[in-house]
Amino acid sequence: MLPRIEPGRTIVVEERWRGHLWSAVPQRVIDANSSELVTFVPAGTTSVTASCRGLAGTEHLTRSERKLNALKTLQARPLQFSESPTKLNFYAADRWARINLGWDPSDGRFMGWYVNFEMPAIETPDGLQTIDLVLDIYVNADRSWHWKDEDDFDLAIDAGVISNDLRQVFRDEAHRVLKELDQQQGPFVPHWRSFRPDRDWPLTNVQLVARYGDSPSAFCFG
In a domain, 188, yes or no: yes
In a domain, 207, yes or no: no
Which pLDDT score is estimated for 76?
A: 81
| Structural domain containing residue 29 | 10-196
In a domain, 215, yes or no: no
In a domain, 191, yes or no: yes
In a domain, 218, yes or no: no
In a domain, 142, yes or no: yes
CA angle at residue 135 from 129 to 141, to 5 degrees? 95
- What residue ranges of the chain have pLDDT lower than 50? 204-205, 209-210, 213-222
Which pLDDT score is estimated for 217?
A: 44
In a domain, 208, yes or no: no
Q: What is the CATH number of the domain that holds 19?
A: 2.40.380.10
Domain count, the chain: 1
In a domain, 210, yes or no: no
Which pLDDT score is estimated for 63?
A: 75
Which pLDDT score is estimated for 221?
A: 35
